[in-house]
């Protein structure tokens, strides 16, 4: 059973871990080689609980505690319950969802385990917009992607905004950051994957005309610069989503969802 603690003072020393929460500060709070992250809102906390991440504690309004009571009934953790204004003063921002939890980061996936066991992976280069990264993870989780690889310049998938925008799906999908970029593409190709790059450039093949390969890596770049020349050079195929009017491309989060839907394995489709 969780330990339930009612709090009425924002200076309560038991809330020290929640005081002026920032992602940078949490990354510095490392135990056993892992930092912490913030799960915000009832749906995201539920996904965090289901994902196997260790939840340290929760800070909730009474209403949100009632909504989460069934999920934490058998959990060994501390639940702090406080009025909304106390929550806001403690964490340092408007926590209008009334629910936040501190959880431990999990170990990243291993490339050696993903290559032989998966058929559909996403590779991200330079995706440092937090909302775009969260949206990509949400689409990936819902459209059959089995793992995500990030180059060294991508944003932190455990950032509070990424976790929130992804609706917690980033906590369910295996991912890893690869230092050997873009050499990791050679590893994937040698492992039997076809590397497909998504780009708006006019000489790319229209995506709708491409039959999804049996095993595919879909590579996406940041808005504006897109994929680097070196990443494009190493791709087996470069595809584009044809656009109408004078629009040259979509937001990368929207483009990712369309591409994930097109390339998901046929037997994984509803």
Strand runs labelled E in the chain: 3-6, 36-40, 55-60, 78-81, 99-104, 120-125, 147-150, 175-177, 194-198, 205-206, 216-221, 237-240
Task: Supply the pLDDT for residue 215.
Answer: 96
Question: 111-268: CATH homologous superfamily?
Answer: SPOUT methyltransferase, trefoil knot domain (3.40.1280.10)
**How far apart are alpha carbons 60 and 120 in whole angstroms?**
38
Task: Supply the pLDDT for residue 29.
Answer: 52
Beta bridge partners of 194: 216
**How far apart are alpha carbons 65 and 83 in whole angstroms?**
11
**How far apart are alpha carbons 265 and 67 in whole angstroms?**
37
Residues 6+ apart with CB under 8 A from 171: 39, 47, 48, 51, 53, 106, 163
User: Which burial class, exposed, middle or buried, applies to 35 when counting CB atoms under 10 A from its CB (0-12, 13-18, 19+)?
Assistant: middle
Asked if pLDDT for residue 23 goes beyond 70, the answer is: no
Length of the chain: 270
Torsion, Cα 91 94 100 102, to 10 degrees, reads -30
CATH topology for 3-104 is 60s Ribosomal Protein L30; Chain: A; (3.30.1330)
- Name residue, tokens 């991912």: 175
Position 191 confidence tier, pLDDT thresholds 50, 70, 90: very high
pLDDT in tens, 224-261: 889 999 999 999 999 999 988 778 778 999 999 999 99
* Contact indicator for 34, 107 with CB cutoff of 8 Å: yes
Task: Supply the pLDDT for residue 14.
Answer: 86
What does pLDDT average to over the chain?
90
Task: Supply the pLDDT for residue 260.
Answer: 97
Percent of the chain with pLDDT strictly greater than 90: 67
> For the chain, what are the domain ranges?
3-104, 111-268
Look at 265 and 218; give whichever has higher pLDDT: 218
Residue 81 tokens, joined: 């319950």
pLDDT in tens, 85-135: 888 888 877 777 889 999 988 888 999 999 999 999 999 999 999 999 999
**How far apart are alpha carbons 53 and 113 in whole angstroms?**
20
């Amino acid at each position: 059973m969780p330990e339930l603690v009612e709090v009425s003072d924002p200076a309560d020393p038991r809330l020290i871990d929640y005081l002026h929460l920032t992602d940078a500060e949490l990354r510095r709070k490392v135990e056993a080689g892992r930092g912490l992250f913030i799960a915000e809102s009832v749906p995201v906390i539920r996904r965090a609980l289901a994902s196997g991440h260790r939840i340290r504690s929760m800070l909730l309004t009474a209403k949100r505690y009632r909504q989460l009571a069934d999920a934490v009934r058998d959990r060994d953790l501390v639940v702090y319950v406080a009025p909304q204004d106390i929550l806001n003063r403690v964490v340092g921002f408007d926590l209008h969802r009334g629910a936040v939890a501190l959880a431990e980061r999990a170990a990243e996936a291993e490339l050696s385990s993903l290559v032989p066991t998966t058929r559909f992976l996403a590779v991200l280069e330079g995706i440092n917009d937090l909302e775009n990264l969260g949206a990509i993870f949400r689409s990936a989780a819902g459209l059959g992607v089995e793992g995500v690889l990030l180059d060294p310049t991508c944003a932190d998938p455990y950032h509070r905004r990424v976790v929130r925008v992804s609706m917690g799906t980033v906590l369910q999908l295996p991912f890893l950051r690869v230092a050997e970029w873009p050499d990791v593409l050679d590893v994937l190709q040698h492992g039997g994957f076809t590397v497909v790059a998504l780009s708006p450039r006019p000489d790319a093949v229209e995506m709708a005309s491409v039959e999804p390969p049996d095993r595919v890596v879909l590579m996406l770049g940041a808005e504006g610069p897109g994929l680097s020349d070196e990443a494009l050079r190493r791709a087996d195929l470069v595809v584009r989503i044809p656009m109408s009017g004078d629009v040259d491309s979509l937001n990368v989060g929207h483009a990712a969802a369309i591409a994930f839907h097109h390339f998901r394995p046929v037997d994984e489709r509803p």
